[in-house]
Amino acid sequence: MSIGFDLGGFMGGIIGTLGAYWVARYTIKKQREAERPKQRKTVYVCASRVGDALYNFSWEIVLMENTEYGPLFEKMIQFRGKLLEMLPEAIETDDRLVVLIERVRTELFKLGNHYSKIENRNDYGKFLKDVSNILDKEFRVCKSIMTQAKGT
Protein backbone atom coordinates (compact mmCIF):
# COMPACT_ATOMS: atom_id res chain seq x y z
CA MET A 1 0.00 0.00 0.00
CA SER A 2 1.46 3.31 -1.01
CA ILE A 3 0.70 6.64 0.56
CA GLY A 4 0.22 9.34 -2.05
CA PHE A 5 0.42 13.07 -1.71
CA ASP A 6 -2.83 14.90 -2.45
CA LEU A 7 -1.63 18.14 -4.03
CA GLY A 8 -5.15 19.45 -4.56
CA GLY A 9 -6.05 19.04 -0.91
CA PHE A 10 -2.79 20.62 0.18
CA MET A 11 -3.28 23.67 -2.08
CA GLY A 12 -6.90 23.97 -1.02
CA GLY A 13 -5.83 24.06 2.62
CA ILE A 14 -3.26 26.77 1.95
CA ILE A 15 -5.74 28.87 -0.04
CA GLY A 16 -8.38 28.45 2.66
CA THR A 17 -5.97 29.46 5.41
CA LEU A 18 -4.77 32.53 3.50
CA GLY A 19 -8.34 33.48 2.70
CA ALA A 20 -9.34 33.28 6.37
CA TYR A 21 -6.29 35.35 7.31
CA TRP A 22 -7.13 38.11 4.80
CA VAL A 23 -10.79 38.14 5.84
CA ALA A 24 -9.72 38.57 9.49
CA ARG A 25 -7.36 41.42 8.56
CA TYR A 26 -10.07 43.12 6.50
CA THR A 27 -12.56 42.83 9.38
CA ILE A 28 -10.09 44.29 11.89
CA LYS A 29 -9.28 47.15 9.50
CA LYS A 30 -12.97 47.97 9.09
CA GLN A 31 -13.49 47.90 12.86
CA ARG A 32 -10.64 50.35 13.38
CA GLU A 33 -12.00 52.64 10.67
CA ALA A 34 -15.40 52.57 12.38
CA GLU A 35 -13.80 53.53 15.72
CA ARG A 36 -11.87 56.53 14.36
CA PRO A 37 -14.82 58.96 14.30
CA LYS A 38 -15.61 58.05 17.91
CA GLN A 39 -12.00 58.71 18.95
CA ARG A 40 -11.93 62.01 17.06
CA LYS A 41 -15.22 63.03 18.69
CA THR A 42 -13.81 62.26 22.13
CA VAL A 43 -10.69 64.33 21.42
CA TYR A 44 -12.81 67.19 20.08
CA VAL A 45 -15.14 67.21 23.10
CA CYS A 46 -12.28 67.11 25.61
CA ALA A 47 -10.34 69.82 23.75
CA SER A 48 -13.50 71.89 23.62
CA ARG A 49 -13.92 71.65 27.40
CA VAL A 50 -10.32 72.63 28.01
CA GLY A 51 -10.59 75.48 25.49
CA ASP A 52 -13.79 76.75 27.11
CA ALA A 53 -12.09 76.73 30.51
CA LEU A 54 -9.14 78.71 29.12
CA TYR A 55 -11.45 81.17 27.36
CA ASN A 56 -13.69 81.67 30.39
CA PHE A 57 -10.73 82.18 32.69
CA SER A 58 -9.25 84.75 30.32
CA TRP A 59 -12.51 86.70 30.59
CA GLU A 60 -12.44 86.40 34.38
CA ILE A 61 -8.95 87.91 34.24
CA VAL A 62 -10.22 90.80 32.13
CA LEU A 63 -13.04 91.44 34.61
CA MET A 64 -10.55 91.50 37.49
CA GLU A 65 -8.60 94.36 35.95
CA ASN A 66 -9.27 96.75 38.83
CA THR A 67 -8.68 94.34 41.71
CA GLU A 68 -5.49 93.40 43.51
CA TYR A 69 -3.09 90.48 43.44
CA GLY A 70 -4.75 88.46 46.22
CA PRO A 71 -8.08 87.73 44.50
CA LEU A 72 -6.30 87.06 41.21
CA PHE A 73 -3.90 84.60 42.86
CA GLU A 74 -6.95 82.87 44.39
CA LYS A 75 -8.61 82.63 40.98
CA MET A 76 -5.42 81.23 39.48
CA ILE A 77 -5.24 78.55 42.16
CA GLN A 78 -8.90 77.65 41.55
CA PHE A 79 -8.30 77.51 37.81
CA ARG A 80 -5.24 75.29 38.22
CA GLY A 81 -7.44 72.99 40.33
CA LYS A 82 -10.09 72.97 37.62
CA LEU A 83 -7.47 72.00 35.05
CA LEU A 84 -6.27 69.24 37.37
CA GLU A 85 -9.84 67.87 37.43
CA MET A 86 -9.79 67.76 33.61
CA LEU A 87 -6.51 65.85 33.52
CA PRO A 88 -7.92 62.28 33.87
CA GLU A 89 -10.23 62.76 30.89
CA ALA A 90 -7.36 64.24 28.89
CA ILE A 91 -5.13 61.28 29.77
CA GLU A 92 -7.74 58.90 28.37
CA THR A 93 -8.22 61.06 25.29
CA ASP A 94 -5.06 62.59 23.81
CA ASP A 95 -1.48 63.16 24.94
CA ARG A 96 -1.45 66.64 23.40
CA LEU A 97 -4.20 67.73 25.81
CA VAL A 98 -2.28 66.33 28.77
CA VAL A 99 0.79 68.31 27.71
CA LEU A 100 -1.33 71.45 27.20
CA ILE A 101 -2.96 71.19 30.64
CA GLU A 102 0.35 70.54 32.38
CA ARG A 103 2.02 73.39 30.50
CA VAL A 104 -0.73 75.87 31.50
CA ARG A 105 -0.61 74.74 35.12
CA THR A 106 3.19 75.01 35.22
CA GLU A 107 3.35 78.41 33.50
CA LEU A 108 0.68 79.88 35.78
CA PHE A 109 2.49 78.48 38.82
CA LYS A 110 5.82 79.96 37.71
CA LEU A 111 4.21 83.30 36.92
CA GLY A 112 2.44 83.39 40.28
CA ASN A 113 5.68 82.55 42.08
CA HIS A 114 7.56 85.23 40.18
CA TYR A 115 5.05 87.98 40.93
CA SER A 116 4.50 86.92 44.55
CA LYS A 117 8.23 87.44 45.24
CA ILE A 118 8.29 90.97 43.84
CA GLU A 119 8.33 93.47 46.69
CA ASN A 120 7.11 96.48 44.72
CA ARG A 121 3.88 95.25 43.18
CA ASN A 122 3.20 98.04 40.74
CA ASP A 123 3.22 95.65 37.80
CA TYR A 124 -0.39 94.46 38.10
CA GLY A 125 -1.15 95.40 34.49
CA LYS A 126 1.92 93.51 33.29
CA PHE A 127 0.92 90.53 35.42
CA LEU A 128 -2.57 90.48 33.88
CA LYS A 129 -1.05 90.75 30.43
CA ASP A 130 1.34 87.86 31.12
CA VAL A 131 -1.51 85.65 32.35
CA SER A 132 -3.64 86.61 29.34
CA ASN A 133 -0.75 85.85 26.96
CA ILE A 134 -0.36 82.35 28.44
CA LEU A 135 -4.09 81.70 28.17
CA ASP A 136 -4.35 83.06 24.62
CA LYS A 137 -1.35 81.04 23.40
CA GLU A 138 -2.68 77.81 24.89
CA PHE A 139 -6.21 78.52 23.65
CA ARG A 140 -4.82 78.69 20.10
CA VAL A 141 -3.08 75.34 20.64
CA CYS A 142 -6.35 73.91 21.90
CA LYS A 143 -8.17 75.24 18.83
CA SER A 144 -5.63 73.58 16.55
CA ILE A 145 -6.18 70.25 18.35
CA MET A 146 -9.93 70.70 17.83
CA THR A 147 -9.41 71.49 14.14
CA GLN A 148 -7.27 68.39 13.67
CA ALA A 149 -9.87 66.27 15.47
CA LYS A 150 -12.58 67.64 13.19
CA GLY A 151 -10.52 66.60 10.22
CA THR A 152 -10.68 69.94 8.41
- pLDDT of 5 over the 70 cut: no
Using pLDDT thresholds of 50, 70 and 90, give the confidence band for residue 1.
low
The fraction of the chain above a pLDDT of 70, given in percent, is 93
For residue range 52-78, list pLDDT tens digits in order: 999 999 888 888 777 777 788 888 889
Please state the pTM of the whole predicted model.
0.71
Q: Identify the CATH number of the domain defined by range 36-150.
A: 1.20.120
Q: How far apart are CA 38 and CA 58, in angstroms?
A: 30
Report how far apart, in Å, the C-alpha atoms of 93 and of each of 5, 58, 107, 134, 136 are: 56, 24, 22, 23, 22
Alpha-carbon distance values, 36 to 26, 40, 42, 61 (Å): 16, 6, 10, 37
